[in-house]
Amino acid sequence: MKFLIFLWFLGTSEGGALFKKALWSRNSPACCQGDEVLSCQQFQLDPDSLGDDDLYLEPLNTTLQFQGMVGDCDHSYHYGNDHIDFTITLQTQTGDAYGHAMLDDGRSLVIEFCGEGIHVLKELDMKSLEEHEGIDFILEENS
Q: What would the pLDDT profile of 24-52 be if each residue is shown by its tens digit?
A: 555 677 888 888 899 988 888 888 899 99
| pLDDT tier for residue 22 given thresholds of 50, 70 and 90 | low
36-59 residues labelled b (16+ CB within 10 A) or e (exposed) = bbebbbbbebebebbebebbbbbb
pTM as predicted: 0.73
- pLDDT greater than 60 at residue 113: yes
Query: What percent of the chain is predicted at pLDDT more than 70?
Result: 72
